[in-house]
Amino acid sequence: MSRFRFTVAYDGTAYAGWQIQPRQVAIQQVLQKAFCDLTGESIKVHGSGRTDAGVHAAGQVIHVDACFSVPPVAYVRALNVRLPRDIRILSCAQVDDSFHARKSALSKEYRYFIYQADIMLPHLRLYRTHVHKKLDTEAMQQALAILEGTHDFAAFSANPDREVETTIRTIFEATLREEGQDIILSLRGNGFLYKMVRSIAGWLIRVGQGDAKFADTQSILDSRVRTAKVPTAAPEGLFLWKVHY
């Protein structure tokens, strides 16, 4: 048995999320079936982290333990033949047995895409959150600057009562930029709480719309309590962009 690392991209629209769930189709389940169809064996797929229903990935990382007998590049082609078109294997490499897709990760990068226009282009509707008016990106950047660094992000977790060892996380890098009608929020951190990125995006949208003040960001962080002031942005705009090792 050898350990292999794969990079995977997927469109999460049709799936109940990453993790296998009863009576629903999950991305992990589809990948495991593809490995089984290819090898004739039951192979457990370990992901770098979970994504929710409707969330996408440009660079999810997985590892598997298997007895592969051909070069890794051959398994990229062989698996893609067996996968639906909304899930693609991008690369494969043999790694040391100590590598673990989740535990070995140093940081993860998420990107959230906001489309600001009166009319949403149909081909973008599954990959952007739509706002009808131009947002105040300067105020959004000021709010984002407060969130960068190490904080207790309980107020930006959709379910702060969910059992976790700690709600303290570090955001190493946080940027916001405009490209045409897109606003792209990028967050790279050592870990993220349940719906934390979507909560940050939801808060920034409120600030950009003038419904909240950027200066209130610190008091919300300090409260450590999730309230209706921080909405959870829609899943369509979110991508797991890259995992850093």
Catalytically active residues, by annotation: 52
Core vs surface per residue 163-174: b (16+ CB within 10 A) or e: eeeebebebeeb
d(CA 62, CA 4): 8
